[in-house]
Amino acid sequence: MNFRDLLSLCAKNLMRRKTRTLLAVIGVMVGTCAVVVMLSIGFGMTKSYEEQIQNYGDLHMIELYNYGSGMSYGSPQEQQGVISDKTLASIEKMDGVTAVTPVVTAYMTIGIGKYVTTDEIVGIKPDVLKKFNYGLQEGRYLNNADKDALVFGSYIPQWFYNPQSKNYDSKEQDVITDKIILTADYEYGQKPQSGQTDDNKIEYKQYKMKGVGLLEEQNDQPDYRVYMNISRLEEIIKETQKAEGTKNLVVPGQEKTYERAYVYVGDINDTERLCKELKDLGYQTSSPIDWLASLKETANMIQGILGGIGGISLFVAALSITNTMIMSIYERTREIGVMKVIGANLKDIRRLFLMEAGLIGFIGGVIGVLLSLLLSFLMNTVLRDIISIALSSFGAYGTTISIIPLWLVAAAVVFATAIGVFAGYSPAKRAMNLSALESLRNE
């Protein structure tokens, strides 16, 4: 018996009991639709989470902390997670890492003429700034020869003000200049307060600096930071501590360690893996990807629950197919017998019933998917406002509520058909094993 004849016979059989077939088809349709719509909402949530994460920060960047900083004197295993030039060099060799730099920061005052601003000065290895892909509005990145050179975040120029003016006199400064003074003295540029004795006044040094670059706007931390050569910044910090008399204890003979470091990942798909690998090496890490991971977990969980609800209805649909097929076989016992007597192979009988069940699944699946596409469209347009209120309680504020990828369309139809065939398997086997004699007996 060839496939086309089989198909036409199945179709004719299904048409005989239109209502029953229709009910079974509706069952599959509802089940498929439930699964697809539920999953599509999950996909929509995942997407909206991803959109939100883009605003949280740079997914390329992993910030590294010295685990238990300052306490890492003892035994070698406690040395785990220490940030030193040596460990950073090995991190740089890790797969996916584009740039690594230790980080030292200090809050210092920057003066251009009578205008000043106090900002976070970030000391890094000069050559990595370029690799961080921040982009330049003006000037250039730092290079290894730069010592007294600064690269500014995009907001900094607007923050200069004149501390001597009575009104708050703020004026945007051109930072690409060599008339910059950097100092740890927060009172720099202010009028000396009269009546105050200067006995305890700390003599902060003033460093002459040169502005070489202005970064593009990042909508992130780099916008309000000033970058410079780490070794120069360390010198300045040391001299400042000396002036303040708060010199840090340095254990002689110990390797120099850093509190923090930046690890720049070339492809954001590697970020999560690298975070984990670095954690395994004993580092404390922080990256916007952590947020994404936990949000994705939420999305997966919600998707699982929603998909499960859909799955239950599909399971019920499968039961109804089985039931339909069993009923149909009871009804057609004689017919099956006659078919056997007039030459149907056992396999033909089985295929006939499997195909009928599969056809119910297939038709239900196709209609279910079409219905899901319609529902998805409605959810993204007419019903969007109502549904987004409900979804915002899970922290998803995306613009698209339901996303049905093409593979889901195909998978849903295939799955529905498979469910039909699966549900029809036991009835088909029963039909196959029916005695041909039944046809002649129950006259």
SS3 108: strand
Nearer to other proteins by Cβ, of 219 and 345: the residue is 345
Residues 423, 175: Cα–Cα separation, whole Å? 74
State in angstroms the smallest separation of the CB of 330 from other proteins: 16
Contact between 322 and 36 under an 8 Å Cβ cutoff? The reply is no
> Of 5 and 255, which has the nearer Cβ to other proteins?
5
Maximum distance among all alpha carbons in the chain? Answer: 124
Residue pair 6/355 in contact by the 8 Å Cβ criterion? yes
Q: Shortest CA distance to 271 belongs to which of 257, 291, 255?
A: 291
Q: How far is the CB of 44 from other proteins (least distance, A)?
A: 45
* 346 contacts other proteins (rule: CB under 8 A): yes
Q: Which is nearer to other proteins, 220 or 348 (CB)?
A: 348
Between residues 110 and 428, which has the closer beta carbon with respect to other proteins? Answer: 428
Q: How far is the CB of 8 from other proteins (least distance, A)?
A: 9
Is 1 a binding residue for other proteins by CB under 8 A? The answer is: yes
Which are the contacts of 273, defined by CB distance < 8 A and separation ≥ 6?
96
* Lookup: tokens for 418: 């498979």
Q: In angstroms, give the least distance from the CB of 2 to other proteins.
A: 6
- Find out whether 210 and 139 touch, Cβ atoms under 8 Å: no
CB of 442 to other proteins, least distance (A): 10
Check if the beta carbon of residue 65 is closer than 8 Å to that of residue 285: yes
Closer to other proteins at the Cβ: 17 or 273? 17
Residue 15 found at the interface with other proteins (CB under 8 A): yes
Whole-angstrom Cα Rg for the chain: 36
The nearest distance, CB 18 to other proteins, in angstroms, is 11
Q: How far apart are CA 25 and CA 360, in angstroms?
A: 5
DSSP letter at 71 equals -
Residues of span 124-183 touching other proteins by CB under 8 A = none
Q: Please identify, using beta-carbon distances, which residue of 4 and 93 lies nearer to other proteins.
A: 4
Nearest approach in angstroms of CB 347 to other proteins is 8
**Binding-site member from 72, 313, 402, 439 for other proteins (CB under 8 A):** 439
Encoded one letter per residue, x for contact with other proteins by CB under 8 A and - for no contact, window 191-230 reads ----------------------------------------
- The string of DSSP codes covering 237-303 is HHHHHHHHT-PPP--TTPPPEESEEEEEESSGGGHHHHHHHHHHTT-EEE-HHHHHHHHHHHHHHHH
Owner of token pair 């740079």: 58
Choosing from 95, 199, 385, 443, the residue that interacts with other proteins (CB under 8 A) is 443
Using the rule CB under 8 A, is 344 a contact of other proteins? yes
Of 92 and 348, CB closest to other proteins: 348
Residue from 327, 338, 391, 418 touching other proteins (CB under 8 A): that is 338
Using CB under 8 A, count the residues that bind other proteins. Answer: 26
β-strands 161-162, 169-170 pairing: antiparallel
Q: Please report whether residue 18 would count as binding other proteins according to CB under 8 A.
A: no
Kindly indicate which of the ranges 71-79, 305-313, 405-413, 432-440 contains the residues binding other proteins, using the contact rule CB under 8 A: 432-440
Given the complex with other proteins, which of 149 and 432 has the nearer CB atom? 432
Does position 244 interact with other proteins (CB under 8 A)? The reply is: no
Residue 13, interface with other proteins (CB under 8 A)?
yes
Distance CA 99, CA 81 (A): 18
Burial (CB count within 10 angstroms: exposed 0-12, middle 13-18, buried 19+), residue 226:
buried
Kindly tell me the number of DSSP H helices and DSSP E strands found in the chain. 12, 14
CA–CA separation, 161 and 172 (whole Å): 8
CA separation, residue 204 to residues 41, 183, 189, 238, 250 (Å): 60, 7, 13, 12, 22
How near is the Cβ of 344 to other proteins at its closest, in Å? Answer: 5
To the nearest whole angstrom, how small is the minimum distance from the Cβ of residue 358 to other proteins?
Answer: 19
Does the footprint of other proteins cover residue 268 (CB under 8 A)? Answer: no
331 scored as a contact of other proteins (CB under 8 A): no
Of 229, 412, 234, the C-alpha closest to 311 is 412
Should residue 3 be labelled a site residue for other proteins when binding is judged by CB under 8 A?
A: no
109 binding other proteins? (CB under 8 A): no
- Judged by the rule CB under 8 A, the positions of this chain that interact with other proteins are 1-2, 5, 9, 12-13, 15-16, 334-335, 338-346, 348, 435-437, 439-440, 443
